[in-house]
């Protein structure tokens, strides 16, 4: 079996993926800080790594995948204050919302979903050992990591300490020995969530929690660490520093994978622009499947632009697939239920999925799936014009096999046409009931039989104005709701 190549942010190159233990993959991806609804950027990260994780499994790896919830943080505390409630309540509320959004997008549950607050013991332990080893120091109840204690600080982001400091954008904190030193442990103010520690009551800093959760659940060296590109500095840089200092083992993560950003109509999503797109708002306008297809239609490291146009295109692409399925089922009953023959398409599967082995190129795989869709339609067209169905069933079955295998890791094209159209119909406020539509279709077909095409066209027009589109097929008239 061909090996998988991954782009490693640490080296800036594509490398052959060699896990620490053959056949096994340990993987950690930074999850959300749960102080608000998650946005389309979280969706991209989650969907990208979901596909990656599923592909490893598809390829037979034994995967242990963790994605955390940061449930103790300044923003959560602030939010709790404005809502007049506790951090715990805020965190729980948005963890639930995040989980719902992920489920809607078909993101599988990671094997482990640790919360920062559940690893406080480990955080204190790691912090303590960093002090003991001289990498961290205590200052009035705070504990800081000393970035100058390890020579290789900056190796992930390609920065060096002196240049960072000349940037002078780092706030100066008198308690720190060096402006770049970061908090491992923060003394808590009254009313804030806090835990007893050797340095008094306090709470963990941001970076240490991920290190602690990784060390606690996955070990000293993991295979893959993922997250958004923006986390490279300082978050992941700091994670590497503190983890490698604490364990004395290098590397902390063998491969670092970072996904690109989502822009909205060519602009960066930001609070100040007020263009943060929540996942649930996106789901109001588009099907989850179209959103997922859109996210996977570009390489995970490239920036992508979320626009009304690009989503409409994704929606059309999804519809093209289900229309083809619907047609296949109409012309070749039971084709969708039949067991496909995987051994018949071994070579095609290999060719179609090969791009995944080169840094998870989902975009190219999707392109290959559309070739299969064209192939299905072509076979059915030829059979119809020749009046000879011989061989078509196998042709359809083989293409379906390829698409369905891909859907195991892409997470799209995995529904029946009925489910798809039902979902689309339910998204539109229907002025007409299904029964009413069926009645009008029957009336129109009567008119067509009488060759009363004026009446027939009037009914088509009437339905169209209400968002219902008709299609006359050899098997009768079908209708769908315009998305």
Partner RNA sequence: GGCGGCGUACCCAAGUGGCAAGGGAGCAGUCUGCAAAACUGCCAUCCAGCGGUUCGAAUCCGCUCGCCGCCUCCA
Q: Segment 293-322, which members bind RNA (CB under 7 A)?
A: 297-299, 302-305, 309-310, 312-313, 316-317, 320
Region of 98-106, 187-195, 230-238, 333-341 interacting with RNA (CB under 7 A): 230-238
CB of 377 to RNA, least distance (A): 3
Judged by CB under 7 A, does residue 11 bind RNA? no
Measured from the CB atom, is 129 or 377 closer to RNA? 377
Pick the closest to residue 338 from 411, 274, 404 (CA basis): 404
Minimal distance, residue 476 CB to RNA, in Å: 11
Tokens of 391: 């061989």
Q: H or E segment at 469? A: strand 468-473
Q: Does 476 bind RNA (CB under 7 A)?
A: no
Closest CA relative to residue 47, chosen from 308, 360, 309 = 360
Alpha-carbon 333 to chain mean position: 35
Name beta bridge partners: 24. Answer: 62
Considering only residues 171 through 210, tell me which ones interact with RNA, judged by CB under 7 A. 206
User: Beta strand pairing status for 222-228 and 304-306?
Assistant: unpaired
Measured from the CB atom, the residue of 128 and 366 that comes closer to RNA is 366
| Count of chain residues binding RNA (CB under 7 A) | 80
Site string for RNA, 399-438 (x = CB under 7 A): ----------------------------------------
Tell me which residues in 67-126 interact with RNA (CB under 7 A).
75
Q: Look up tokens 């300082």; give the residue.
A: 234
**Is 285 near RNA (CB under 7 A)?**
no
Q: 3-class DSSP state for residue 325?
A: helix
Question: In this chain, which of 3, 11, 85, 374 binds RNA, going by CB under 7 A?
Answer: 374
Terminal alpha carbon distance of the chain: 42
By CB under 7 A, tell whether 363 contacts RNA. yes
The single residue among 51, 215, 366, 396 that binds RNA, judged by CB under 7 A, is 366
List 373, 440, 441, 481, residue binding RNA (CB under 7 A): 373
Q: In this complex, which beta carbon is closest to RNA, that of residue 59 or of residue 258?
A: 258
Return the number of the residue (128 or 355) whose C-beta is nearest RNA: 355
The nearest distance, CB 349 to RNA, in angstroms, is: 16
Neighbour count for residue 121 (Cβ, 10 Å): 11
Q: Which of 106, 228, 417, 483 binds RNA (CB under 7 A)?
A: 228
Residue 120 vs 210, nearer CB to RNA: 210
Q: Which one, 250 or 473, has the nearer CB to RNA?
A: 473
Contact segment (CB under 7 A) with RNA among 80-88, 186-194, 257-265, 394-402 equals: 257-265
Nearer CB in complex with RNA: 343/461:
461
Burial of 465 per CB tally in 10 Å (0-12, 13-18, 19+)? exposed
Whether residue 399 contacts residue 390, with contact meaning beta carbons closer than 8 Å, is answered with: no
- The minimum distance between CB 62 and RNA, in angstroms, equals 25
User: Is 1 in a helix, a strand, or coil?
Assistant: coil
Beta-carbon contacts of residue 287 (< 8 Å; ≥ 6 apart): 315, 318, 423, 424, 427, 483
Stretch that binds RNA, among 84-92, 138-146, 159-167, 407-415 (CB under 7 A): 159-167
Return the residue of 8, 324, 398, 399 that touches RNA, per CB under 7 A: 324
Cα separation of 378 and 384, whole Å?
10
In sequence order, which residues have a C-beta less than 8 Å from that of residue 223 and are 6 or more positions away? 17, 19, 20, 24, 25, 26, 27, 253, 254, 255
Judged by DSSP in three states, 304 sits in: strand
Listing DSSP states for 214-258 in one string gives: HHHHT-SSEEEEEEEGGGIIIIIHHHHHHHHHHH--S-SEEEEEE
**H or E element that contains 455:** helix 453-465
Choose the binding region for RNA from 57-65, 144-152, 433-441, 470-478 (rule: CB under 7 A).
470-478
Rounded to whole angstroms, the Cα distance separating 468 from 483 reads: 10
**SS3 state at 111:** coil
Binding track, positions 25-64, relative to RNA; x by CB under 7 A: -----x-xx-----x-xx-xx-------------------
Which one, 20 or 305, has the nearer CB to RNA?
305
**How many whole angstroms separate alpha carbon 468 and alpha carbon 106?**
28
CB of 294 to RNA, least distance (A): 8
Instruction: Please choose, from the candidates 204, 182, 183, the residue with its C-alpha nearest in 3D space to the C-alpha of residue 193.
Output: 204
Task: Count other Cβ atoms within 10 Å, centred on residue 166.
Answer: 8
Choose one: 59-67, 211-219, 228-236, 399-407; the region binding RNA (CB under 7 A): 228-236
For the bound state, the minimum distance from the C-beta of residue 269 to RNA, rounded and expressed in Å, comes to: 4
The residue within the footprint of RNA, chosen from 80, 136, 232, 481 (CB under 7 A), is 232
Pick the binder of RNA from 104, 112, 161, 269 (CB under 7 A): 269
Residues of this chain, 329-348, that bind RNA according to CB under 7 A: none
The single residue among 197, 361, 398, 399 that binds RNA, judged by CB under 7 A, is 361
Nearer to RNA, 443 or 457 (CB): 457
Told to check if 229 binds RNA by CB under 7 A, we report yes
> For residue 43, which of 250, 276, 271, 345 has the smallest C-alpha distance?
276
Gap between the Cα atoms of 133 and 151, Å rounded:
15
């Amino acid at each position: 079996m061909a090996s998988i190549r991954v782009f490693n942010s640490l080296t800036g190159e594509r490398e052959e993926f060699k896990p620490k233990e053959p056949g096994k993959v340990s993987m950690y991806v930074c999850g959300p800080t749960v102080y608000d609804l998650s946005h389309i950027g979280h969706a991209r990260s989650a969907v990208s790594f979901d596909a990656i994780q599923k592909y490893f499994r598809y390829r037979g790896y034994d995967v242990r995948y963790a994605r955390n919830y940061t449930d103790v943080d300044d923003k959560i505390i602030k939010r709790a204050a404005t809502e007049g409630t506790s951090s715990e309540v805020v965190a729980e509320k948005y963890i639930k919302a995040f989980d719902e959004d992920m489920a809607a997008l078909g993101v599988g549950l990671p094997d482990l979903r640790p919360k920062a607050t559940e690893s406080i013991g480990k955080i204190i332990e790691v912090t303590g050992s960093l002090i003991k080893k001289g990498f961290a120091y205590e200052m009035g109840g705070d504990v800081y990591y000393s970035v100058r204690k390890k020579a290789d600080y900056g190796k992930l982001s390609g920065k060096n300490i002196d240049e960072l400091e000349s940037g002078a954008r780092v706030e100066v904190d008198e308690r720190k020995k060096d402006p770049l030193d970061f908090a491992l442990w923060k003394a808590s103010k009254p009313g804030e969530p806090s835990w007893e520690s050797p340095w008094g009551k306090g709470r963990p800093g941001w970076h240490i929690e991920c290190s602690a959760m990784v060390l606690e659940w996955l070990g000293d060296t993991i295979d893959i660490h993922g997250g958004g590109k923006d986390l490279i500095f300082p978050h992941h840089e700091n994670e590497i520093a503190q983890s490698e200092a604490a364990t004395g083992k290098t590397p902390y993560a063998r491969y670092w994978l970072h996904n690109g950003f989502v822009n909205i109509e060519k602009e960066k999503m930001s609070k100040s622009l007020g263009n943060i797109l929540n996942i649930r708002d996106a789901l109001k306008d588009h099907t989850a499947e179209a959103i997922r297809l859109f996210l996977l239609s570009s390489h995970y490291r490239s920036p992508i632009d979320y626009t009304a146009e690009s989503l409409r295109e994704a929606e059309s692409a999804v519809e093209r697939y289900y229309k083809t399925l619907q047609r296949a089922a109409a012309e070749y009953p039971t084709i969708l239920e039949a067991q496909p023959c995987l051994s018949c398409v071994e070579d095609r599967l290999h060719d179609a999925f090969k791009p995944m082995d080169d840094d998870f190129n989902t975009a190219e795989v999707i392109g290959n799936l559309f070739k299969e869709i064209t192939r299905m339609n072509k076979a059915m067209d030829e059979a119809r014009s020749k009046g000879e169905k011989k061989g078509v069933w196998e042709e359809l079955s083989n293409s379906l096999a390829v698409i369905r295998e891909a859907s195991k890791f892409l997470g799209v094209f995995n529904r029946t046409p009925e489910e798809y159209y039902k979902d689309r119909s339910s998204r539109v406020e229907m002025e007409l009931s299904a029964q009413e539509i069926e009645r009008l279709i029957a009336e129109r077909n009567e008119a067509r039989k009488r060759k009363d095409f004026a009446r027939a066209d009037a009914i088509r027009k009437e339905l169209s104005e209400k968002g219902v589109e008709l299609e006359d097929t050899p098997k009768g008239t079908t209708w769908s709701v315009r998305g």
